């Protein structure tokens, strides 16, 4: 090592570096926290696992970053350069390549100094420049909320990670060092950073199999977010460890002895759970500290997979097994590449002992996760290329990013990313035996979308272990799930979004729902536009509208039609964009109750005599966004008019509805509509009745019986008493048409207990 150190000092001198003599102010500020790592220390750490390290590259990156950060200081008063240096040191523990270590040294230069991407590329090459840019936050974000800014920066980071996994490794090391020095940050920022760490970065490390880093991040965040609970749990853990010191040694000794008696050599690692893990288990299971049985665990490290199962047999022969505590993650690895056998036995002193049995390679992957794959192998291929071939965790990450990056606003992106990062797993199977890993609490809807988005969209039912079950059924480990689909279902019910657990399912349902709603609005808008052109005796063609898109500030014809359907744009605006000489015709309007005809719509009255110009209405389950008057509804047989409500579609009113007076000064919102009911598939429509009945026992039952006997369906009843002798009812019901409604009214009037019946038109 002495030769390498001598070469490092020579290079510092040749480069004119100030590495050996940081500015006086920085030197004083950093004194309390110890001296910074020198260039040769960093090179020695890398050379310890990579004898062929590019020492020149590391030295140049060290000098460049130190000069770029100059006299900048951290909140602790330390030289700012101490931070990227510590990040690089953390990554040497993961045994990462030279480019990653150099990127760690440079990772804040573009964001916090005068350095540029072009300069980094020129001095250190485009590979390192690409890594540094991937770690640079988006500063100029025109977003209102902190959550939106956080989400957009996270989106940028995840996309960079998908392109090169080393971006993730540097980012996690960066966050770990920031968390280790969080006590110097102002309280408000401290809370936010800790929450973000617990919500995103710790679970992300866990998903990548980097358990040791995940646990430290969780504990550091826990200490900030709930210092009282952290102190109590830590104190109890220390006290328990002190009391059980001899017992832990005895368990290790007996394990080694039992294995040696069967001619097996193994390494035993004792460990205790961290404070955050203990606390979350207490919260999740609602148990006290004394009721936890797996605070201490032991790892049995053996030479081969075969030895793992031999060791399991030896342990189960020597000590009683705790039922339900066996898991084989060797035959069925977790998505983050974790492989191990878990079992719990009753050991010495009737103490429960949790064991994890694995090979040395499995142990390395369990601790380092994807970092265990991330070095070049035989000089062939990049870390990212190797991970694409070898790592399930990285494949999951890339797939998740592809799903989440599509069509979500910032807040939704953040929400769904968190959903994907958390959760333990359950393992289910398709009828053909394909393994599907899902988070706990997932249901058959999540399973369907995990198989394929098209399967989820067209799912109409399922069988779980051969038996029919609701799609909302929660799945258990080992379930075989068969999803039944129908080509008739082109979009999932919107309510599924609330039932789904996985981010993939939620995002797909939301996209499909939005697409279906958009198609409805676009269909409505097209009908409105085409009918305006028919009335104006003008030719309409998509090609002509396409040329007018710039004047309408829309990117596509569908965008225009959807805007018209939502009421955000008038059909007349579309006509003017296509035909600048077009003048909107002002039509006289008719309104019930004696309003002046010159003020309101004759269009509604004319719809009955000119049905060819009216938009057909079939009900609420159609390809148009239609709803009915909220205070009284409308039924086939009524003369009707449509009112466009921005963002809600068409509201259908009977022509006699007094509510139409509210729209008499808004002629652009009136639409000609007509009934187009398919008699082969009858639908029910909403109506409202006012009933005054005699206040005597059984009178309400008589009213309900009349409606039921005549095939009416009661949705809601409101009762009020205005006098001792009579009760007033407002009944919302569903009927097939006006003839059906009038028949029910006639039968109610024939009842002796009914004093008065009227239809309500809101």
- The per-residue DSSP string of 545-577 comes to HHHHHHHHT-SSHHHHHHHHHTTSS-HHHHHHH
536-584 pLDDT per residue, tens: 888 888 888 888 888 888 888 888 888 888 777 888 888 888 888 887 6
Write down the H helix ranges in 107-186.
109-112, 117-124, 126-134, 146-163, 166-180
Last residue of a domain, one of 82, 116, 136: 136
Of residues 304 and 23, which shows the higher confidence score? 304
* Residue 173 maps to a domain: no
Q: Which uninterrupted H or E stretch holds 504? A: helix 503-535
494-528 pLDDT per residue, tens: 889 889 988 788 888 888 888 887 887 888 888 88
Is residue 11 predicted with pLDDT exceeding 50? no
**What's the angle, vertex CA 503, arms to CA 500 and CA 506, rounded to 5?**
45
pLDDT the model gives residue 332: 83
pLDDT the model gives residue 310: 94
Question: Do 263 and 366 have their domain in common?
Answer: yes
pLDDT the model gives residue 367: 82
Choose among 426, 501, 429, 438: nearest CA to 465.
429
76-135 pLDDT per residue, tens: 888 999 999 999 999 998 888 899 999 999 999 998 899 999 999 999 999 999 889 888
Six-digit token pair at 616?
């057909």
Question: Do 354 and 243 have their domain in common?
Answer: yes
Is residue 32 predicted with pLDDT exceeding 70? no
| d(C-alpha 385, C-alpha 374), whole Å | 9
Instruction: Give the global pTM.
Output: 0.58
Write down the H helix ranges in 16-116.
24-31, 39-47, 55-69, 82-93, 98-106, 109-112
Last residue of a domain, one of 578, 599, 615: 578
Enumerate the β-bridge partners of residue 652.
628, 642
Q: Which uninterrupted H or E stretch holds 640? A: strand 640-645
Per the listing, tokens 């990212």 go with 384
417-445 pLDDT per residue, tens: 665 655 556 778 888 878 787 877 889 99
Per the listing, tokens 């002629």 go with 667
* Residue 218 maps to a domain: no
Question: Do 360 and 240 have their domain in common?
Answer: yes
The CATH number assigned to the domain holding 279 equals 3.30.460.10
pLDDT the model gives residue 305: 94
Is residue 593 predicted with pLDDT exceeding 80? no
Q: Which residue range is the domain that position 461 belongs to?
A: 402-512
CB-based contact 273:331 (threshold 8 Å): no
Of the residues 12, 41, 108, 112, only one is catalytic, namely: 112
Three-state SS at 225: helix
Q: b/e for 501-534, b at 16 or more Cβ within 10 A? A: bbbbbbbbbbbbbeebbbbbbbbbbbbbbebbbe
Is residue 405 predicted with pLDDT exceeding 70? no
End-to-end CA distance of the chain: 90
CB-based contact 474:442 (threshold 8 Å): yes
Question: Do 520 and 629 have their domain in common?
Answer: no
Question: Do 692 and 671 have their domain in common?
Answer: no
* Residue 385 maps to a domain: no
User: Which has the minimum average pLDDT: 313-327, 401-415, 668-682?
Assistant: 401-415
Question: Do 668 and 702 have their domain in common?
Answer: no
Ranked by mean pLDDT, which of 391-395, 480-484, 488-492, 505-509 comes out on top?
A: 480-484
| d(C-alpha 137, C-alpha 147), whole Å | 14
Write down the H helix ranges in 645-737.
699-709
Is residue 298 predicted with pLDDT exceeding 60? yes
Question: Do 238 and 250 have their domain in common?
Answer: yes
| d(C-alpha 579, C-alpha 545), whole Å | 10
Query: What's the domain count of the chain?
Result: 6
Whether 378 is a known active-site residue: answer no
pLDDT the model gives residue 414: 64
Question: Do 547 and 612 have their domain in common?
Answer: no
Per the listing, tokens 């009284």 go with 632
* Residue 458 maps to a domain: yes
Choose among 710, 715, 657, 717: nearest CA to 693.
717
Whether 111 is a known active-site residue: answer yes
Question: Do 505 and 427 have their domain in common?
Answer: yes
Of residues 485 and 207, which shows the higher confidence score? 485
Pairing of strands 296-302, 352-359: parallel
Question: Do 24 and 109 have their domain in common?
Answer: yes
The CATH number assigned to the domain holding 727 equals 3.30.70.260
* Residue 357 maps to a domain: yes
Question: Do 41 and 129 have their domain in common?
Answer: yes
User: pLDDT confidence of 10, banded at 50, 70, 90?
Assistant: very low
* Residue 738 maps to a domain: yes
CA distances from 436 to 56, 334, 418, 451, 506 (A): 48, 11, 20, 7, 17
Three-state SS at 753: coil
In percent, how much of the chain has pLDDT > 90?
Answer: 27
Six-digit token pair at 671?
């639409």
pLDDT the model gives residue 614: 67
The CATH number assigned to the domain holding 73 equals 1.10.3210.10
| d(C-alpha 6, C-alpha 640), whole Å | 93
User: Which has the minimum average pLDDT: 100-114, 356-370, 392-406, 477-491?
Assistant: 392-406
CB-based contact 692:675 (threshold 8 Å): no
* Residue 533 maps to a domain: yes
Last residue of a domain, one of 328, 350, 371: 371
135-178 pLDDT per residue, tens: 886 554 444 456 666 667 777 777 777 677 788 889 899 999 99
* Average pLDDT value for residue range 36-52: 88
Of the residues 54, 111, 119, 474, only one is catalytic, namely: 111
In percent, how much of the chain has pLDDT > 70?
Answer: 79
Of residues 509 and 682, which shows the higher confidence score? 509
Is residue 304 predicted with pLDDT exceeding 90? yes
* Residue 378 maps to a domain: no
User: Which has the minimum average pLDDT: 33-42, 286-295, 707-716?
Assistant: 286-295
Question: Do 691 and 566 have their domain in common?
Answer: no
Per the listing, tokens 């390549």 go with 97
Is residue 598 predicted with pLDDT exceeding 50? no
């Amino acid at each position: 090592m002495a030769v390498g150190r001598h070469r490092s000092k020579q290079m510092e001198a040749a480069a004119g570096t100030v590495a050996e003599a940081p500015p006086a102010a920085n030197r004083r500020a950093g004194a309390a926290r110890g001296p910074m790592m020198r260039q040769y220390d960093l090179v020695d750490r890398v050379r310890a696992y990579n004898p062929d390290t590019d020492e020149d590259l590391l030295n140049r990156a060290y000098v460049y970053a130190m000069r770029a950060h100059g006299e900048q200081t951290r909140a602790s008063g330390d030289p700012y350069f101490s931070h990227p240096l510590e990040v690089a040191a953390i990554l040497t523990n993961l045994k990462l390549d030279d480019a990653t270590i150099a990127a760690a040294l440079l990772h804040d230069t573009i964001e916090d100094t005068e350095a540029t991407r072009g300069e980094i590329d020129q001095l250190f090459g485009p590979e390192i420049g690409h890594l540094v840019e991937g770690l640079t936050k988006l500063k100029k974000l025109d977003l209102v909320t902190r959550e939106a800014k956080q989400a957009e920066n996270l989106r940028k980071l995840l996309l960079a990670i998908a392109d090169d996994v080393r971006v993730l490794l540097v980012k996690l090391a960066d966050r770990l060092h920031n968390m280790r020095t969080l006590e110097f940050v102002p309280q408000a920022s401290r809370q936010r950073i800790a929450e973000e760490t617990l919500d995103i970065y710790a679970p992300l490390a866990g998903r990548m199999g980097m358990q040791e880093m995940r646990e430290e991040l969780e504990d550091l965040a826990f200490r900030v977010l709930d210092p009282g609970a952290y102190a109590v749990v830590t104190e109890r853990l220390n006290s328990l460890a002190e009391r059980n010191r001899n017992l832990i040694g005895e368990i290790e000794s007996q394990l080694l002895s039992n294995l040696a008696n069967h001619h097996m050599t193994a390494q035993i690692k004792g460990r205790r759970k961290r404070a955050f893990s203990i606390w979350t288990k207490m919260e999740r299971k609602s148990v006290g500290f004394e009721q936890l049985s797996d605070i201490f665990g032991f790892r049995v490290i053996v030479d081969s997979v075969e030895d793992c199962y031999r060791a399991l047999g030896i342990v189960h022969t020597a000590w009683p097994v705790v039922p339900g505590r066996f898991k084989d993650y060797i035959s069925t690895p977790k998505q983050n590449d974790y492989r191990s056998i878990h079992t719990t036995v009753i050991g010495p002193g009737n103490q429960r002992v949790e064991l994890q049995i694995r090979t040395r390679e499995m142990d390395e992957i369990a601790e380092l996760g994807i970092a265990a794959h991330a070095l070049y192998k035989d000089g062939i291929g990049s870390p990212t290329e190797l991970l694409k071939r070898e790592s399930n965790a990285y494949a999951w990450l890339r797939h998740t990013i592809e799903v989440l990056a599509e069509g979500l606003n910032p807040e939704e992106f953040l929400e769904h990313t968190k959903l994907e990062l958390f959760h333990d797993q359950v393992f289910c199977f398709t009828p053909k035996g394909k393994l599907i890993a899902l988070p706990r609490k997932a249901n058959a809807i999540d399973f369907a979308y995990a198989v394929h988005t098209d399967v989820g969209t067209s799912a109409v039912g399922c069988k779980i272990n051969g038996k029919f079950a609701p799609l909302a059924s929660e799945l258990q480990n080992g379930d075989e799930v068969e999803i039944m689909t129908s080509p008739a279902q082109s979009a999932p019910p919107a309510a599924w979004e609330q039932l789904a657990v996985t981010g993939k399912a939620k995002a797909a349902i939301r996209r499909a729902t939005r697409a279906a709603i958009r198609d409805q609005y676009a269909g409505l808008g097209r009908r409105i536009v085409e009918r305006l052109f028919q009335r104006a005796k003008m030719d309409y063609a998509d090609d002509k509208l396409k040329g007018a898109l710039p004047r309408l500030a829309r990117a596509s014809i569908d965008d225009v039609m959807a805007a018209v359907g939502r009421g955000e744009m008038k059909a007349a605006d579309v006509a003017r964009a296509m035909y600048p000489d077009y003048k909107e015709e002002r039509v006289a309007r008719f309104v019930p109750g004696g309003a002046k005809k010159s003020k309101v719509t004759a269009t509604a009255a004319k719809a009955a005599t000119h049905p060819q110009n009216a938009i057909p209405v079939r009900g609420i389950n159609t390809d148009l966004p239609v709803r009915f008057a909220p205070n009284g509804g409308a039924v086939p047989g009524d003369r009707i008019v449509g009112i466009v409500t921005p963002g809600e579609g068409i509201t259908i009113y009977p022509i006699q509805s007094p509510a139409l007076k509210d729209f008499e000064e808004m002629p652009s919102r009136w639409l000609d509509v007509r009934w187009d009911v398919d008699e082969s598939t009858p639908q029910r429509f909403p109506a409202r009745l006012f009933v005054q009945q005699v206040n005597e026992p059984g009178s309400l039952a008589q009213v309900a019986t009349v409606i039921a006997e005549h095939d009416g369906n009661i949705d809601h009843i409101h009762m009020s008493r205005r006098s001792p002798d009579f009760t007033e009812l407002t009944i919302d019901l569903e009927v097939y048409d006006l003839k059906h409604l009038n028949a029910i009214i006639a039968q109610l009037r024939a009842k002796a207990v009914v004093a008065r019946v009227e239809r309500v038109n809101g």
